[in-house]
Amino acid sequence: AQTVTQSQPEMSVQEAETVTLSCTYDTSESDYYLFWYKQPPSRQMILVIRQEAYKQQNATENRFSVNFQKAAKSFSLKISDSQLGDAAMYFCAYRSALNAGNMLTFGGGTRLMVKP
């Protein structure tokens, strides 16, 4: 079974600065997908960024980028120019490409606080 670990329960960043959230995972599979989801307080969970394991290039979405290290099974999220609206719980998630139901394995989450 796959496991996803987020070792930072809480992180804090100054507005306009950069922060990196860590995620490691364990799998014996070679084809899979990795996701970062954002869950703001009392608001719904939304997808931030997705990485396909067969792609070497790191995914980027505006101020959000990942550092995907397949051999190390590491998938960190970098948020540049942090904004107050980035404050949220961030969940790293794994999905096997063999999984017909597209089911996710979530990490425990990292609460990000942004200081003005």
Interaction pattern, residues 73-102, with other proteins; x per rule: CB under 8 A: ----------------x-x-----x--xxx
Q: Which of 33, 73, 74, 78 binds other proteins (CB under 8 A)?
A: 33
Contact pick of 24, 27, 52, 67 for other proteins (by CB under 8 A): 52
In whole angstroms, how close is the CB of 84 to other proteins at the nearest point? 20
Burial of 67 (0-12, 13-18, 19+ CB in 10 A): middle
Strand pairing of 60-61 and 32-39?
unpaired
Q: Which two tokens stand for residue 109?
A: 């989450």
